[in-house]
Amino acid sequence: MSLDLNVTQADKPAKTLPDAQTVTAVRHWTDRLFSFRVTRPASLRFRSGEFVMIGLPDDNGKPILRAYSIASPNWDDELEFYSIKVPDGPLTSKLQHIKAGDQIILRPKPVGTLVLDALLPGKRLWFLATGTGIAPFASLMRDPESYERFDQIIMLHTCRLGAELEYGRELVADLRHDPLLTELYGEGFANRLLYYPTTTRESSPQMGRITDNLLSGKVFEDLGVPAMNPAEDRAMVCGSLEFNIDAKKVLEGFGLAEGANSAPREFVVEKAFVG
Ligand code: A2P
């Protein structure tokens, strides 16, 4: 599909809409999940973990926009996004068909609560994600500033099926040999990024909901880290509304309190894009 975002009139030269960006790559991970990369507006500055509005024009040319976390780190020349495909979703039913060379609409106004500035200094930074909620952490995991601020980054990701973990699995495997991070932090860097993927509806080496595995202490035991405590641990949460509510309760149970950009504390929460 090639989208025509050009305004062409007989008496005027072709003019591209101001917020159009070009798709550079698309990868389908499962029949429900895909990621894509687009050109980055020269003026766009963002903090890793933030989101922007992206979309496509509808049949009448009116934009259909949704919030998407930027999955690429802020040093990247391009922008990456990770999306679910909802068959009857107003945007994703169309967006899932994009290919390199197509154009999408991107409003260059990044915002969001999953930013390092919203957390007090600490020792370990936990990322808690379900499904496509891993997207903002794909950005933060690749940002050297995360490793400047914390000794360890711990990525907990839960999906129903093993194949749905693949995007995160590949990202972490690549990161452990990342030339920039290895140059900055040495070979020992790989030990500073812990990864704990689990499934809930298909058998895999580690199973169970993040909330249950934290409450039972299984995560701490398996990873060899102390139980979460407000003196050392900071966390960011991104998933469905229900997951966010339950994860917040679990974190509060460990004595952590929710913060914001204007009032940094021990954890922050944001809802993943759905639909
Ligand atoms: P489960 O299979 O036990 O529902 P979904 O696709 O429904 O958004 O779920 C993605 C993953 O998040 C699934 O593994 C699901 O587990 C898990 N999940 C859904 N809701 C919660 C919740 N409230 N607390 C913890 N994990 C959840």
pLDDT tens-digit map of 5-21? 444 444 444 445 669 99
Q: Is 130 in the pocket of ligand 1 (CB under 6 A)?
A: yes
Return d(Cα 84, Cα 135) in angstroms, integer: 11
The amino acid that residue 68 corresponds to is Y
Return d(Cα 81, Cα 42) in angstroms, integer: 18
> What is the Å distance from ligand 1's center to 242 Cα?
8
Two structure tokens written together for 218: 């299984």
Q: Whose CA is nearest to atom 11 of ligand 1?
A: 159
Q: Which of 61, 60, 55 is nearest to 94 (CA)?
A: 55
User: What stretch of H or E contains 92?
Assistant: helix 92-95
Digit-coded pLDDT (tens) for 93-120: 999 999 999 999 999 999 999 999 999 9
pTM above the 0.85 mark?
yes
Contact 272, 128 (CB under 8 A): no
Taking CA atoms, 75 is separated from 82, 131, 151, in Å, by 18, 25, 21
Residue 47, C-beta contacts closer than 8 angstroms, at least 6 positions apart = 74, 110, 112, 115, 116, 117
Per-residue pLDDT at 4 exceeds 70: no
The pLDDT score that the predictor gives to residue 79 is 98
| φ/ψ of residue 269, rounded to 5 | -135, 140
| φ/ψ of residue 10, rounded to 5 | -55, -40
Q: Which of 82, 84, 160, 167 to mutate to test the pocket of ligand 1 (most atoms within 8 A of CB)?
A: 160
The pLDDT score that the predictor gives to residue 12 is 45
| φ/ψ of residue 168, rounded to 5 | -70, -40
